[in-house]
Amino acid sequence: MLEELDTKIITETETSTISLSTAASEAVKNILTERNLEGYALRVYVAGGGCCGVNFGMALDNNIRDVDTTFEAHGVQVVVDEVSIDYLRGATIDFVNDPVRGAGFAVDSPMAKGHSHEHGESACACGGSCSCNN
């Protein structure tokens, strides 16, 4: 019993720093409804390296493993695997509709290594499906 409580407290502490914006949660809910995917969660994971140091991927998944960290944000279940959680601590997941890059999810993670631009900002696009900003 004590071991279960310790695990729950650690999981809640780890995920409390990942946030999903209202716009992102609404976008996920709309996709789940359109595709009739009841019982699916948003899985966020490290999808390799890139200009940001880390690229993130997202998928709709209904295969939740015991080693996954799960939490709910604005009515959306979010799942992160045991490796990716280290890169997502402190991250914000948003849905943006950029006139230049189009609509998509953006991950702003302090754990992802970025590079500086001429104007002192640090940002880059990761394959069009997300962006990493430090």
Hey, where are the domains in the chain? Answer: 2-133
pLDDT tens figures, 39-64: 999 999 998 766 556 788 999 999 99
- Contact between residue 94 and residue 16 where contact means Cβ atoms under 8 Å apart: no
pLDDT in the model for residue 37 = 96
* Cα(76)–Cα(24) distance, integer angstroms: 9
Determine how β-strand 102-108 pairs with β-strand 92-98. antiparallel
Is the entire prediction scored with pTM above 0.75? no
- Extract the residue ranges of the chain whose pLDDT is less than 70: 1-16, 49-53, 112-134
Residue range 2-133, CATH number: 2.60.300.12
- Contact between residue 40 and residue 32 where contact means Cβ atoms under 8 Å apart: yes
